[in-house]
Amino acid sequence: MDNSGVYNKSREEILTVGKKYNIPQNKLEEFLQPDRIVEIKVPVKLGSETVSFKGYRSQHNNNLGPYKGGLRFHPGVTKDEVMALSLWMSLKTAVVGIPFGGGKGGIAVDPKALSEKQLEELSREYVRKTYDVLGYDKDVPAPDVNTNPKIIDWMVDEYIKLSMMNGKGSTPLNKLFATFTGKSKNGLSGRTEATGFGGVTVLKELARKLKLEPKKQTVAVMGFGNVGYYFAELASKAGFQIVAVSDSKGGIVKKSGDEFIPLDIPLVFDCKQEKGSLAGCYCAGGVCDTRGGQMITNEELLNLPVDILIPAALEDVINENNMQNIKAKIIIEMANGPVSPAAYHYLTQKGVIIVPDILANSGGVAGSYIEWEQNVEDKKYKKEDVLKRLEKMMQDAFENVWDQSKKNKTDLKEASYLVAINKILNQ
Gap between the Cα atoms of 91 and 120, Å rounded: 32
Q: What string of DSSP letters covers 191-228?
A: TTTHHHHHHHHHHHHHHHHTT--GGG-EEEEE--SHHH
Beta-carbon contacts of residue 213 (< 8 Å; ≥ 6 apart)? 207, 239
For residues 209 and 402, the answer to whether their CB atoms sit within 8 Å is: yes
* Residue count (the chain): 427
Is-catalytic flag, 68? no
Backbone angles phi, psi at 43, to 5 degrees: -80, 140
Q: Give burial (CB, 10 Å; 0-12/13-18/19+) of 185.
A: exposed
| Rounded distance between C-alpha atoms, residue 142 and residue 149, angstroms | 9
Nearest-angstrom CA–CA distance, 387 and 394: 10
Calpha distance 101→92 (Å, rounded): 9
Strands 330-332 and 353-355 turn out to be parallel
- SS3 at position 1: coil
22 Cβ neighbours under 8 A, 6+ residues apart? none
Sheet of 67-73: strand order equals 36-46, 49-61, 102-107, 67-73, 139-143
Q: Are 368 and 181 in contact (CB under 8 A)?
A: yes
Q: 68, 104, 175, 413: which is the annotated catalytic residue?
A: 104
Contacts for 375 with CB less than 8 Å, ≥ 6 apart? 136, 174, 175, 177, 178, 186
Cα 368 to the center of its chain, rounded Å: 12
Question: Residue 278 and residue 37: Cα distance in Å, rounded?
Answer: 40
Which residues carry out catalysis? 104
